[in-house]
Chain A
Amino acid sequence: MDLATYAAENGLKRVGARPPFIAYVKEAWGRRDFAWTLSSFTNKAANARNRLGRWWMVLTPAMQGVMYGLIFGVILGARNRPEHFISYLFCGVFLFSFMQGTFSNGATSVTGNAGLVKSLSFPRVLLPLSATIQQFINLVPQLGLLLITVAGDTAISGFGFPLTWKWLLFIPAMILMVLFGAGSSMLAARLTVQFSDLNKVIPFAFRIIFYSSGIFYSLDAILKNHPTIGAILKFNPFAAYINLVRGILIPGREATAELWLICAGWGILLPAVSLLLFWKVEERHGRED
């Protein structure tokens, strides 16, 4: 009798075998506390060595906003500038940095927590998810800053009291964007399993996306004469989420049904597909080659 049948006869299960998809998701859900706690602890530790501590969570985006405002608003001049430029720019910069953060943090979430992966067995998908939560915790003060800026900007330019019912749509928009972030985090973690060189390429890829997503200029105005490229770029999720939020918050802009559809599509499909892809290589996470 060979050992495999002997083991099976005695009710032993193969170690390290990846559990069925549903069981995997259930186990991950059962340990969600771990993902939350890990992200909040890591966040606190990241700022613990700085004198200003957690204030950097607000200071960094504020400095970014001022820097981009100076470069694109003042130094590069006012031509072609979309209206309510400060609100427009902050929307772009903050949301983009969240989406970039989920991907690049996700890419290192498994390899960067080698200590945990090597010593404890838990559904590895909790690591990229925790990276997403961590980015979201960072995003919250930025969103506060964004909302204050937009409200101030709107009031100053004479559009009256800016808080309207329309702003409630901001919540579902954020939910979709966080789902998209979780998806790209899992995808990045999945890809680095096979292509560890990816980490070197990510910064360049995101520079290109940054300049082509209309963060500090109006994509529509530039692409007016290039309908084909425009049609393709419309599906760029980065631009779509940013424009959706701009449509909700900034007066005179509109969150079209088309934008909602594109954002909902990305926000539902990407996490579903990424989770499936990640689960498929669960056994390979944490190997040392």
Chain B
Amino acid sequence: MVAKTKKAASNAGRKPVVVVDNAHVIYKVFGTGRKVTGNIAKGGLFTKKIRVREVHAVKGVSFTIYEGESVGIIGSNGSGKSSLMRAVAGLTPLAEGAVYAFARPSLLGVGAVLLPALSGERNIILGGLAMGFSKKEIQSKAEDITKFAGIEEFIDLPMRTYSSGMSARLRFAIAAARNHDILIIDEALAVGDQEFRAKSEARMREMRDQAGTVFLVSHSMKSILDTCNRVIWIEKGVLKMDGDPETVTNAYNDYIGSTTID
């Protein structure tokens, strides 16, 4: 808390681009059966009932991002990183709190295959149209996008036939065709190979330098250290640490180390 107020004071005069104010994300899931508890033997077939389970994925996270920052988001699996980022992008509604931004953030996630039945080329066109390009604009960009993704030979095949690396590359290339004011990349690059990773990190730095804000969710501390100048660590739905990349990633590594030894 002390650190936070100090930070706020030193940030006076800087222009905020994203403000996350006490964000809570709660998923309501229709679950069947019982929670797994110690005595599974208790209760039988007829005691099962359908109930709504609430999963509190993000529990009151607040932070402010300023112009020119590229932010790494780290945390163990299931810590709520992706939920938080989806909320920042406005794709998951918040149960409480709010996210403010000067432009609508675009999210590039790992799970989202656009339309698996359609060819890569048609996915480029549809993605471009949905992002607000005109038909002409996207058609003229299609070749560059294909080249950037490095899938020239397969561009006419349906996307369901792509390897996960190929489709991740294509998705990144589509999203990177536009300059985003705020771009969130959620582990989308994890499946790419060395060469593509270098290429996309270069593109991310380029976007950041064009006054765009980039969020990068990643488990690769190297990617985070290479591209980010601020790191936020989310653990079990709460903000555990926020600061310069070196300090936070070191603390995170210590934490991981200590829990694995336990």
Residues of B within 8 Å of A288, CB to CB, are 27, 92
B17's nearest neighbour on chain A, judged by CB, is: A12
Known: A7-B21, A118-B111. A15 touches B62 (CB 8 A): no
Cβ of A121 and Cβ of B117 under 8 Å apart? no
Minimum Cβ distance to chain A for residue B258 (Å): 33
A34 touching B93, Cβ below 8 Å: no
Chain B residues within an 8 Å CB radius of A79: none
The complex places the Cα of A138 from the Cα of B90 at a distance, in Å, of 34
> Is the CB–CB distance between A14 and B108 below 8 Å?
no
Question: What 1/0 flags go to A116-136 for Cβ under 8 Å of B?
Answer: 111111100000000000000
Check if B116 is an interface residue, CB within 8 A of chain A: yes
CA distance A42 to B125 in the complex (A): 13
Is B130 within 8 A of A120, CB to CB? yes
Chain-A contact segment, one of B99-107, B195-203, B244-252: B99-107
Partner of A6, one of B19, B102, B116: B19
CB-defined contacts of B112 to chain A, threshold 8 Å = 115-116, 118-119
The distance in angstroms between the C-alpha atoms of A135 and B178, with both chains bound, is 32
> Is the CB–CB distance between A121 and B129 below 8 Å?
no
Q: Does A11 contact B (CB under 8 A)?
A: yes
B-side interface residues, number (CB < 8 Å): 53
A200 shortest CB reach to chain B, Å: 14
Nearest-Cβ distance from residue A273 to partner chain B, whole angstroms = 24
B183 interface residue, CB < 8 Å from A?
A: no
A286 to B91, Cβ gap below 8 A? yes
Asked, given contacts A15-B89, A116-B115, A121-B106, whether A6 binds B126 with beta carbons under 8 Å apart, the answer is no
Chain A residue at minimum C-beta to C-beta distance from B171: A119
When the two chains form their complex, are residues B93 and A41 in contact, meaning their CB atoms are under 8 A apart?
no
Is the CB–CB distance between A120 and B118 below 8 Å? no
B-chain residues with CB within 8 Å of residue A226 when the two chains form the complex: none
Say whether, besides A115-B116, A286-B91, A41 and B19 are in contact (CB < 8 Å).
no
Does B28 make an interface contact (CB < 8 A)? yes
Inter-subunit contact A37/B102 (CB<8 Å): no
Kindly identify which residue among B86, B89, B113 contacts A115, using a CB–CB cutoff of 8 Å.
Answer: B113
Chain B residues in 8 Å Cβ range of A7: 16, 19, 21, 100
A20 within 8 A of B: no
- Whether A34 and B90, one on each chain, are in contact in the complex, defined by CB atoms closer than 8 angstroms, is no
Measured between beta carbons, the chain A residues less than 8 angstroms from B18 are 12
Partner of A121, one of B22, B94, B99, B104: B104
| Number of A residues with CB within 8 Å of any CB on chain B | 39
In chain A between 6 and 47, which residues have their CB closer than 8 angstroms to a CB of chain B? 6-8, 10-16, 30-31, 33-34, 37-38, 41-42, 45-46
- The answer to whether A12 and B131 touch (CB under 8 A), given A3-B19, A7-B19, A118-B91, is no
Are A16 and B129 neighbours in the complex by a CB distance under 8 Å?
Answer: no
Q: Name the distance in Å between A125's Cβ and chain B's nearest Cβ.
A: 13
**Chain B residue nearest in CB terms to A113:** B115
Nearest chain A CB to B161 CB, angstrom units: 12
Chain A CB within 8 A of B219 CB? no
Given the interface contacts A6-B16, A14-B98, A14-B100, does A116 sit within 8 Å of B130 by beta carbon? yes
What are 19 pairs between A and B in contact, CB < 8 Å? A3-B22, A10-B16, A14-B100, A16-B90, A16-B93, A31-B129, A31-B132, A33-B134, A33-B135, A42-B117, A45-B158, A46-B117, A116-B112, A116-B126, A119-B108, A119-B112, A121-B104, A289-B27, A289-B28
Point out residues on A near B: beta carbons under 8 Å: 2-4, 6-8, 10-16, 30-31, 33-34, 37-38, 41-42, 45-46, 48, 113, 115-122, 283-284, 286-289
Apart from A118-B112, A121-B106: 20 A-B pairs, beta carbons within 8 A: A3-B22, A3-B62, A3-B64, A4-B98, A6-B19, A12-B18, A12-B101, A15-B90, A15-B99, A16-B93, A16-B94, A34-B126, A37-B135, A48-B117, A119-B108, A120-B130, A120-B131, A284-B93, A287-B93, A288-B92
For the complex of A and B, 9 pairs with smallest distance between CB atoms: A16-B90, A119-B112, A7-B100, A12-B100, A3-B21, A34-B129, A289-B28, A45-B117, A15-B90
